[in-house]
Amino acid sequence: MYRWNADYATTVAGTPLASQTYTNFSDNAWLQMNFATQASGNYLWVLSDPVETVGVWTYTASTHPSTAYLNGSTAGLAGYDYVSEVYDLGTAPNVVPSLREWTSAAGDFSLAAGSRIAVDSAYNAALADTANTLREDILALTGLALNVVTTTSPAAGDFYLTLNNTDSGIGSEGYIMQAADYVTIKANSAKGVFYGTRTALQILNQSTDKTGIPKGTARDYPAYKERGFMLDVARKYFTVDSIKDIIKFLSWHKMNDLHIHFTDNDAFRLVSTTYPGLAAAQSYSHADLRAIQDFARKYQVTITPEIDLPGHATAITSYKPSIANQTWSDVIDLSLPDTFTFVNNLLDEFVPLFDAPDFHLGTDETPNDARGFPYFDRHVDTDTRTHNYALAQGYSTAGELYRKFINDYNTVLKNKGKKTRVWAWFDTLPGNIPISNDITYDAWLADGIQSISQRGFQIINSSAKYLYSVPGTGWQTDNVFLYQTWKPYMFDSFNTSNLLSSRDPNILGVKFNNWNDISLAKGFTEKEIAKVVASPLRIVSEHTWGGPQSVEGYPAFLNRAALAGEPPGLLTLGGNAPINLALTRPVTTSSNVNGDLEGMYAVDGAATTRWASAEGADPQWIYVDLGTSSNFNRVKLNWETAYGKAYTISVSDDAINWRTIYSTASGNGGIDEISFPVAKARYVKILGTQRGTDWGYSLWELGVYYDLPQGNNYALNKTAAASSVFPSWTNPSNVLDGNELTRWSSNEGTDPQWISVDLGQSRTINRVRLNWEAAYGKSYKIQVSTDAVNWTDVYSTSAGNGGIDDIGFPATTARYVRMYGTQRGTPFGYSLYELGVYYDNLSLTDLASAKPAYASGVYPSGNVAGNATDNSMTTRWSSPEGIDPQWIYVDLGSSKSFNEVRLYWEAAFGKTYKIEVSNHAVNWTNIYQTVSGDGGLDVIPFSDVNARYVRMYGLERGTDWGYSLYSFQVYSN
């Protein structure tokens, strides 16, 4: 990620400028950048207009010359205004979306028990809510209860919030965060300050004890006004608490709009006092709407409501059949006065209940000119009643009634103080009545988008191809393409692709859309849907905020997102990390049973859908395309009853040549969690060679994960040596200091070069992580030694591409570890921020295996506590039904050191529970707690503890039954 450095002298023909903006620049001129005062390092010079980058050049200042200029041709750039910027290639704090600008400083800010949230006294009224929200989030994240005070004199360890800011360039949503002995967050609005607190929390979340922020200054601001998400609650009801969690997730990523699709054919989800009985059984009362919006205001998210009319109205016409169109029951009849009385009464009731400046009227997928897919074949004039009425009104087609409906209700909404949004569709309506261009155009379709912009409509990009998710179907976004290739000015739907100019002022921004057409039928839970949409939402946040993207692409972005974490205090939707790389990715299979139960069901995120192969035949296989070459070191297989007894896991870069990374001949079903040394590949295949039953192979889930090292970094603060050092301040020890802002670099232009670490004693190791600076190794080896004289290769590559290389290899014992570079990837030398050495224990021993277990209760009588530690996934412990709390604990026999618990739940899972430890089974210490358990397998890591007894203490059941565990496992990882 690029780290901003703002104090460069900028010159044209040697003349310093006060501003870095060049106005009406002349063609074929040259710009010159003065690096004379800068430290050695690698820099980027970026020439851009306010919308897009038009030139990028690199420069290396390897000494400290009195003058050094970089010349870049600007041919063909006449007559425009350009901004010239210089970036230092380095590592800014991990934030999603990435920071626009960052200047680093030495040291770290530290949060402590005495820290405060200090609000500038002059702005207390405007910032009090933000301060209290930050206090709640810090408490949930760190356990520290900070006092909120008003002052103009912050102290070390404080967060200082203020609107005393003179930088108009960051706009109304940007902020400046200055981390020194205290952290100042300043902006032009409370919303900007709030977004600064999200950045601070994400950075805190990544520090070892969640109290540190690297010192430096962030200047951060969005590229687009609209950064949204649409949630379809009409087809799949979401609880109020789940909606609150979605609001938190959006605000965590600086997204500002939650569009809620409240009505559709399936249900009308707004409880109406005007029309009792219209709403479905699960719907939102006026009080619910107020609670949702108050919570959203606290997190700086706007709730944009949608009542979808005049189509998608079966729920309405079922309630009031007299206003249904005679031909299409999902459309209200626009020839009847009663229809407009009904709609007017609805809007009179519900529009005033919403604070948002916009109100969405839907208006898509009505009868139109019947031009075919995806616009349907329902011609508007097929319905006799509306056609004849239109003719009587002097129109030539009933399409004019639909056009008039949009304009008339745009006027109604404007009179109520709202701006109208509609879905793309009206250009398919026959007729000549022009649609008012003060309506916002929600562009799920790409046809005619240039015309829409030329007519002056403001546009939200909701492209159906890349910005839609329909859980349970193959209609999912391609996250790899979305991150690495797609841009907010690209409009794609079905077989149509269109572009607007990247600088088109009518593009308001982007909205990702969830449609739950079959979610209910497929049994998707709210949490499963949230997992499906989480990654594309993060991607949209980064595109619309506008900061630099991860240069290594989507896998690196996923790692950044995992580090940034989730918002603290989620009520129902937490636990989405680590991220499943296989989720919603394309799948290929050897067969499907009866042509059904397709492979995509193994990666769709639902616990109730599955892939099943043809029965009675071996071998069978399933493989998933991760979209791009990715690091991973764990595969999760959740077998249905038809499991694989003998199978292999293979990986490939081309889906033709496969290499096996795991095999077993003793599979026994249930959930297989398979860890292995870090592999890098695009495709992952499960090849079953022997079925465990007479049926085929069947998987509820195929998950592929990348886990960061869990153990200690054996190289941290040890001794390093190198073949060379240049310049002198890039000491080899910098790669072992745990600071990603310091680095080692070798002499330039020379191969080979190396750097080694002395671990101080012989260690068993199987993993090395290299965090490259811009000067990376294209060809290099990882070597190990017991004496620093005789070296053994454990890994080699000739295709290095910089960034972070996470390298796994078979476990070996060594004292010395060396990176031996044989071919540089740049004209410079080799340069590393960090070199880490680890041992991932891939063959863990379950400390609880066959140990005695005890429980608060048993029901039925055969489901005893010992079933949870008997190594069988067919027996289980279960507690009495309908009673909280309940518990089960295992006696390890003596005090043991451990740092992970795994719970394999039967259907009766714990929603809220603790993991506790004790040395005498009387007084218990809490080491973990969750309020959002969702069953399945819970893998719970924590810091090393020593104890004899380990207990799961259930506080709230996830079902009406009791608590039930197939297996309770304890590990030292």
The residues that are catalytic are 365
Q: CA separation (Å) from 910 to 266, 465, 859, 868, 879?
A: 32, 38, 16, 15, 11
Candidates 918, 888, 891, 882; CA nearest to 903 is: 888
Question: Is-contact 857 886, C-beta < 8 A?
Answer: yes
Torsion of CA 955, 959, 962, 968, to 10 degrees: -70
Strands 358-362 and 302-309 come out as parallel
Report how far residue 157's alpha carbon sits from residue 109's, in angstroms, rounded to the nearest whole number. 7
Residue owning tokens 């810090």: 138
Tokens of 714: 């054996």
| CA-CA-CA-CA torsion sign (475, 599, 537, 51) | negative
Q: What angle do CA 847, 849, 853 make, to 5 degrees?
A: 100
The set of residues, in sequence order, having a beta carbon less than 8 Å from that of 341 and lying 6+ positions away, is none
Cα Dmax for the chain: 98
Give Cα 444 distance to the centre of its chain.
22
Report how far residue 309's alpha carbon sits from residue 264's, in angstroms, rounded to the nearest whole number. 9
The set of residues, in sequence order, having a beta carbon less than 8 Å from that of 575 and lying 6+ positions away, is 527, 566, 930, 932, 934
Strands (E), 526-609: 587-589
Q: What is the DSSP string of 672-725?
A: EEEEEEEEEEEEEEEEEEEESSSS--EEEEEEEE-PPP-S--TTTT-EEEES--
Residue owning tokens 């609209």: 226
3-state class (DSSP) for residue 188: coil
Q: CA separation (Å) from 551 to 344, 625, 862, 919?
A: 52, 21, 56, 49
Give Cα 373 distance to the centre of its chain.
32
Strands (E), 153-246: 159-162, 175-179, 183-187, 212-220, 226-232
Q: CA separation (Å) from 226 to 89, 229, 253, 506?
A: 30, 10, 13, 11
Tokens of 257: 């709009």
The set of residues, in sequence order, having a beta carbon less than 8 Å from that of 944 and lying 6+ positions away, is 897, 898, 899, 972
The set of residues, in sequence order, having a beta carbon less than 8 Å from that of 569 and lying 6+ positions away, is 136, 137, 140, 248
Report how far residue 361's alpha carbon sits from residue 313's, in angstroms, rounded to the nearest whole number. 12
Residue owning tokens 């950045």: 199
- Which DSSP category does 379 fall into? B
3-state class (DSSP) for residue 866: helix
3-state class (DSSP) for residue 178: strand
Q: What is the DSSP string of 759-812?
A: EEEEEEEEEEEEEE-SS-EEEEEEEEESSSSS-EEEEEES---SSEEEEEEEEE
User: What's phi and psi for 335, nearest 5 deg?
Assistant: -105, 0
Report how far residue 401's alpha carbon sits from residue 425's, in angstroms, rounded to the nearest whole number. 14
Tokens of 284: 């939102």
